[in-house]
Amino acid sequence: MHPYLPHLLADIEAAHRTEKLKQRDQLLEEILEQVTQLEKAHQFGYYCGLNAEIFPPAEQLLAKEMKIVNSAFRKMMKSWSAACYLPKQLPPKIVYSLLIQTLEGNFDPLMQGSITWGYCSRNNADCVLEKYCSCLT
């Protein structure tokens, strides 16, 4: 096992969202404040406290280690009402890279519902999902 893996998994566990959004009626002032905050949008990594630099290059991990990190990362995303749509047959190395990219995606933790990142470009020539893309079937 990669010696850094336990530390990385601990960092991902610490990035889980702990507070829950409360469902309630909002005053107009609160709604306007949220709209103002949206204009100051940050990336997902800003909110969860992770950045791509803490993840070792995929070449330094075994496929089974990437699967462990990918699973932990997806659970963390779910705690933030976020997900990443990726085909099931995608190799762990590609999944690993794409999940880490979500840290740089714009994110709004105040919104109700969820956000899902997808990577299909609908163009076979430059699709990052390569031959595994669902638009090819």
Q: How far out from the chain centre does Cα 132 lie?
A: 20
Which tokens is 122 given? 């609908």
Write down the pLDDT at residue 122. Answer: 77
**Upper half-sphere CA count for residue 27 (Cβ side, 13 Å):** 3
Is pLDDT above 70 for 20? no
Please state the domain extents for the chain: 5-13+28-136
Span 27-64, pLDDT tens digits = 666 666 665 655 557 899 999 999 999 999 999 999 99
End-to-end Cα spacing for the chain: 36
CA separation for the pair 107, 91 (Å, rounded)? 26
State the Rg of the chain over Cα.
17
Is pLDDT above 80 for 135? no
Is pLDDT above 60 for 75? yes
Neighbours of 7 (CB within 10 A): 11
Q: What is the pTM of this model?
A: 0.80
Write down the pLDDT at residue 127. Answer: 79
Concatenating the DSSP letter of every residue in 20-61 gives: PPPP----HHHHHHHHHHHTT-EEHHHHH---GGGSPPGGGS
